[in-house]
Chain A
């Protein structure tokens, strides 16, 4: 039996500070820019609401289904869908069909990038000062 990890978003606690996105972009790219992070926050109604969106690590993952080279598969250790950078041809099909825009071709890396749950220790969750991002462990049923 494997445990599956998820990031649960608590929008009611999100302040829109983007510290999660700063941590994510720094880990991924070695520099900071929230727009380049692998999670998104939409700030709406004059900043009254902040909605973080993270990768759903779908059971029925369109990104993996559309990938022409089968570069996207589940990491059995974490349950995250991950991109094999050696296989990825940066065609961008995954991003075109992801319903939440959680995968895209990075302009510098020139490969598809998405949340891999930082191999089980997500930096965004660690950095969030309010508990708006929470790491949840789900026991997978046999």
Chain B
């Protein structure tokens, strides 16, 4: 067989019986869904029984690479796919770094993990040697210490290790998987799925070669991709200061969340952005494997109360949600809080949303605050730290309440607290506050994993000056929003078969991705390939979410964005009304070829070649 950039095998691991087995990737699966998110979309539908408890042994935890992961094609990543304990829906969470490529070097395109180990375990994968190692001495450790400890246990400094922290062990519904330091499969609670399986760590060491179909054409395509990245201003900005530059930008365009998204502008934004971070944190740059952009700005907190913690850049999302949204303006304190999240294994985005919710309901007197000497209020890093610890370690009632996420917490608190629970379908709202950007609102409403800013970044079109078909987009207008968003969702999902990094995609064109793909796999495609396969994937995921009971009544924005017009800032007086939402959603369903109830029509399913019956079960017995 001529090389195709893939390893053409998936490793099945059954934790209940401590057995594993490699299986060939079925040809039709590869043709229809290619890899990465595509495999995840199809196999989650096929392998997870309807109604399965996300934290039960029937859920599957999958890691997928794509045909360009682990090759010299610039800026590629890998993903985790599972049924989310936060939303009960499809979850895909992406990570860069070196863990994803190692899966391919070990000889697999992906790992599918099922069942539940009786006792805490580490799965060690060294090419074809798979071992189940007791993890009693690692259980209870934070994610970073566990990473170091596993390498030490294996005597393998060069192993690449994915771990969970205490939050994952304690089944916090927004806990993450740490895929080597500073790289996390962050959103949606994949860490809790891993914890529910008693799986503390996965260590991978691979000695196989990843080969492409046409090395000469591939080298040329890589050269082209590097050139496109070099020509991109957005990529250049990321090289200079990572996503921190987006903090003052987002403030200027009125999308920076403040006080649990009550406002969307912040007079202290510069302290949290590139200027503040360069002054207090940055030392040097770090890159994911194969990436020339090197958006990571590694550094340390040098001064003050939190001095001498090593820290990566405080990414835009963390700066917004753990900084401005909590009105904490000392970037050193924010870096400290985010690092705590990384170590405990909490998604810093959802954690920021949860903390803001907690501060607001305490302020409003809706829940009884803990001892009065604790400043559980906006602007208090000490209060934030106490809550983070309480949640991750499940230390007290407040911690276990908030560890469920804002949706469940507000349902338990009642008293109208849902007004302050900012989420879509259970997933906390990202760091772009949408009242001045209705298209971004629609993106949150319709994203496959709940409120997500990465499935279609409408802010770029609405206030970022990005053109659509060569024309500027009307900021507050509703007419084109569904059309633009659908295009974005399809295209970006299509690129996640590779698996692309969003930042590489700022520079690399669809034509160039097609060249890379064709040269690596030997399958001739053009730029439209990604839109088409993206639409198939998007609809496949829709079928999963509907099967798992997603109610389209939940396809809406939280009340704050609907009922409370902004009282200041660039979008003063703006909100996204019930009728705005209804207009955009109707348009969206229609353009998607879905029924008014949001279901892909039979014709649409047929057109996309989607089979309502599961096709790939890999003989569940391993």
Contact of B111 with A by CB under 8 A: no
Which residues 290-340 of B sit at the A interface, judged by CB distance below 8 A? Answer: 290-292, 294, 296, 298-300, 310, 312
Contact call A35/B211, Cβ cutoff below 8 A? no
Contacts of B83 in A (CB 8 A): none
Contacts of B206 in A (CB 8 A): 33, 35
- Number of residues in B with C-beta < 8 Å to the partner? 38
Quick one: which of A15, A19, A35, A47 contacts B158, CB cutoff 8 A?
A35
Contact call A50/B71, Cβ cutoff below 8 A? no
Contact call A17/B207, Cβ cutoff below 8 A? no
Quick one: which of A12, A17, A29 contacts B291, CB cutoff 8 A?
A17
A4 to B573, CA, bound (A): 71
Given the known inter-chain contacts A30-B209, A32-B72, A33-B105, please indicate yes or no for A47 contacting B294, CB distance below 8 A. no
Quick one: which of A12, A34, A36 contacts B284, CB cutoff 8 A?
A12
Selecting from A20-28, A67-75, A88-96, A111-119, the interface stretch reads A20-28
Contacts of B300 in A (CB 8 A): 48
A130 to B291, CA, bound (A): 11
Contact of B286 with A by CB under 8 A: yes
Specify the chain A residue showing the minimal Cβ separation from B218: A26
Contact call A22/B72, Cβ cutoff below 8 A? yes
A46 to B181, CA, bound (A): 6
Contact call A33/B182, Cβ cutoff below 8 A? no
Quick one: which of A23, A36, A42, A45 contacts B207, CB cutoff 8 A?
A36
Contact call B298/A32, Cβ cutoff below 8 A? no
Contact call B210/A33, Cβ cutoff below 8 A? yes
Contact of B86 with A by CB under 8 A: no
Contacts of B299 in A (CB 8 A): 48
Contact call B144/A46, Cβ cutoff below 8 A? yes
Contact of A16 with B by CB under 8 A: yes
Candidate in B71, B285, B296, B299 with the most chain A CB atoms within 10 angstroms = B285
Category for how many chain A residues contact B: 20 to 34
Contacts of A42 in B (CB 8 A): 157
Contact call A17/B283, Cβ cutoff below 8 A? no
Contacts of A107 in B (CB 8 A): 207
Contact call A32/B312, Cβ cutoff below 8 A? no
A26 to B310, CA, bound (A): 34
Contacts of B209 in A (CB 8 A): 25, 29-33, 36, 108
Contact call A47/B286, Cβ cutoff below 8 A? yes
Specify the chain B residue showing the minimal Cβ separation from A108: B209
Specify the chain A residue showing the minimal Cβ separation from B157: A42
Contact of B208 with A by CB under 8 A: yes
Contacts of A31 in B (CB 8 A): 3, 209-211
Smallest CB separation, A67 vs chain B (Å): 24
Contact of A129 with B by CB under 8 A: yes
Smallest CB separation, A31 vs chain B (Å): 3
Specify the chain B residue showing the minimal Cβ separation from A18: B289
A31 to B284, CA, bound (A): 30
Smallest CB separation, B354 vs chain A (Å): 25
Contacts of B3 in A (CB 8 A): 31
Contact call B98/A18, Cβ cutoff below 8 A? yes
Smallest CB separation, A81 vs chain B (Å): 24
Contacts of A26 in B (CB 8 A): 72, 215
Quick one: which of A12, A47, A129, A130 contacts B181, CB cutoff 8 A?
A47
Given the known inter-chain contacts A15-B285, A33-B206, please indicate yes or no for A47 contacting B182, CB distance below 8 A. yes
Contact of B510 with A by CB under 8 A: no
Quick one: which of A22, A29, A48 contacts B298, CB cutoff 8 A?
A48
Contacts of B205 in A (CB 8 A): 35
A35 to B215, CA, bound (A): 20
Given the known inter-chain contacts A30-B215, A35-B105, A50-B286, please indicate yes or no for A45 contacting B292, CB distance below 8 A. no
Which residues 81-131 of A sit at the B interface, judged by CB distance below 8 A? Answer: 107-108, 127, 129-130
Contacts of A12 in B (CB 8 A): 284
A58 to B283, CA, bound (A): 33
Which residues 158-210 of B sit at the A interface, judged by CB distance below 8 A? Answer: 158, 180-182, 205-210
Contact of B287 with A by CB under 8 A: yes
A101 to B137, CA, bound (A): 32
Smallest CB separation, A41 vs chain B (Å): 10
A48 to B205, CA, bound (A): 22
Contact of B519 with A by CB under 8 A: no
Candidate in B70, B209, B310 with the most chain A CB atoms within 10 angstroms = B209
A50 to B182, CA, bound (A): 14
A47 to B292, CA, bound (A): 16
Contact of B288 with A by CB under 8 A: yes
Binary B-proximity of A2-22 (CB < 8 A = 1, otherwise 0): 000000000010011111001
Contacts of B182 in A (CB 8 A): 46-47
Candidate in A30, A45, A46, A50 with the most chain B CB atoms within 10 angstroms = A46
Specify the chain A residue showing the minimal Cβ separation from B294: A15
Binary A-proximity of B199-233 (CB < 8 A = 1, otherwise 0): 00000011111110001000000000010000000
A37 to B283, CA, bound (A): 28
A23 to B73, CA, bound (A): 11
Smallest CB separation, B315 vs chain A (Å): 15
Contacts of A129 in B (CB 8 A): 226, 292, 294
Contact call A33/B310, Cβ cutoff below 8 A? no
Candidate in B98, B144, B284, B312 with the most chain A CB atoms within 10 angstroms = B284
Contact call B310/A18, Cβ cutoff below 8 A? no
Candidate in A18, A22, A30, A33 with the most chain B CB atoms within 10 angstroms = A33
Given the known inter-chain contacts A17-B294, A48-B298, please indicate yes or no for A34 contacting B289, CB distance below 8 A. yes
Contacts of B211 in A (CB 8 A): 30-32
Specify the chain B residue showing the minimal Cβ separation from A21: B289
A12 to B286, CA, bound (A): 11
A141 to B70, CA, bound (A): 43
Q: Which 4 A-B pairs have the closest CB atoms?
A: A31-B209, A17-B287, A15-B287, A129-B292
A-B contact pairs, 17 of them (CB 8 A): A15-B285, A17-B290, A18-B289, A23-B72, A26-B72, A31-B209, A31-B210, A32-B71, A32-B72, A34-B289, A35-B206, A45-B310, A46-B310, A47-B181, A47-B296, A48-B310, A129-B294
Residues of A within 8 A of B (CB): 12, 15-19, 22-23, 25-26, 29-36, 42-43, 45-48, 50, 107-108, 127, 129-130
Beyond A15-B294, A18-B98, list 7 extra A-B contacts (CB 8 Å): A17-B288, A19-B72, A29-B209, A30-B211, A35-B105, A47-B312, A48-B284
